Amino acid sequence: MSQLYNNLNAYQHLSSSFKVRDICKPFISTYDIELSVAQVWDDWFVDTFADESAGDPMDHLALVSKNNKIIGFLFPEDLMADKMIQDVYTQLDPEIILSSDTTIIEFAKIVSTSEHNIYFVIHANEFVGWVSYRSLNKAPFHLCLLTLILALEQYLLFVLLTSPKAAFENLSDGRKEKAKNLHAFKRYGLDENGQPYLNDLLECTLLIDKIEMVRLHPDLKEFFPAAKNRKTSKIAEETRNRIAHPTQADHVLEKIGKKEIWPLIFWINELSEQSHKYLIDKTIQQ
């Protein structure tokens, strides 16, 4: 159990260590409200992005100030009219301002449960950048999400190890064979009868297999109501695999969707908490 909690503490620390300041994008500039759209256009599209290597000018935001105070912001689309900045800018809503210390997991909840798509990051009373839902499709959030999933998998493994034989019997023959093949590939040891140890076989099962074993186990299923959600179980397994394979990592958010990000994280935490409670109660009973 001490190994489990050491691993989980490491996962928890890692998943909460990344902040929105690690994924926010800097503003292109701050423009005074008295400027014309034409003046800002020249600075934004002509001067700043004269070099193509500077990136896409349409993928940036700018701040708007009045008397040296930030009052709003500009989208690149706002610069298409022959007007003054005061006629086209968007006023700053306090609801979309985040502290730079907001964790990425907290931001995932905020953006997934809100109608807002863009948030402004403030540090020491200064605006330092902006984040959007797309900002989550970067390595820091992928790593946070992966650590939560790995922690859940560790929990479930230790739960199954309390009754390994009955747990493994709940797998289909095909899934058992997959686990045995991975066991052989990893060159784990065999018992005196030349058979794999059940503990090692359980370790060689997939996350979705572990969830299924808990869901079907007659002595476990009542303690894990979250395991009944087979749809989210599948999403968690697919997400884990995409993040673990660099060629698929860029498509993590495309496969989940903005509104599904937080429900997935909530479910992972819920099943982890149910596992934690079960293991604690089991320890007390012993």
pLDDT of 5 higher than 60: no
CATH code of the domain covering residue 94 = 3.10.580.10
Find the mean pLDDT for residues 165-179: 93
Which of 106, 136, 166 marks a domain boundary? Answer: 136
Same domain, 80 and 164: no
Distance (Å, whole) CA 15 – CA 144: 4
Segment 194-221 shows an average pLDDT of: 94
Residues 270 and 178: their CA atoms lie apart, in Å, by 28
pLDDT mean over 217-240: 94
Task: Mark which of 88, 110, 136 sits at the end of a domain.
Answer: 136
Boundary (domain end) residue, out of 91, 116, 136: 136
Has residue 4 been placed in a domain?
Answer: no
Q: Say if 32 falls within a structural domain.
A: yes
Residues 188 and 132 in one domain: no
pLDDT score recorded for residue 1: 53
pLDDT at 49: 64
In this predicted model, which residue has the larger pLDDT, 10 or 112? 112
Structural domain boundaries enclosing 36: 19-136
DSSP 3-state helix, strand, coil percentages of the chain (rounded to 5)? 60, 15, 25
Read off the pTM. 0.87
Rounded to whole angstroms, the Cα distance separating 79 from 64 reads 13
pLDDT band (50, 70, 90) for residue 108: very high
Domain match, 151 and 281 both: yes
Number of domains in the chain: 2
Same domain, 39 and 105: yes
CB contact at 8 A, 65 and 29: no
Measured from the Cβ of residue 66, the count of other Cβ atoms closer than 10 Å reads: 14
Is the pLDDT at 45 greater than 90, yes or no?
no
Among 28, 49, 59, smallest CA distance to 127 is for 28
Closest CA to 31 of 59, 3, 81, 71: 71
* Whether 110 and 199 share a structural domain: no
Concatenate the DSSP letters of all residues of 206-230 into one string: -HHHHHHHHHH-TTTGGG-GGGG-H
CB 73 within 8 A of CB 59: no
- At 160 the pLDDT is 96
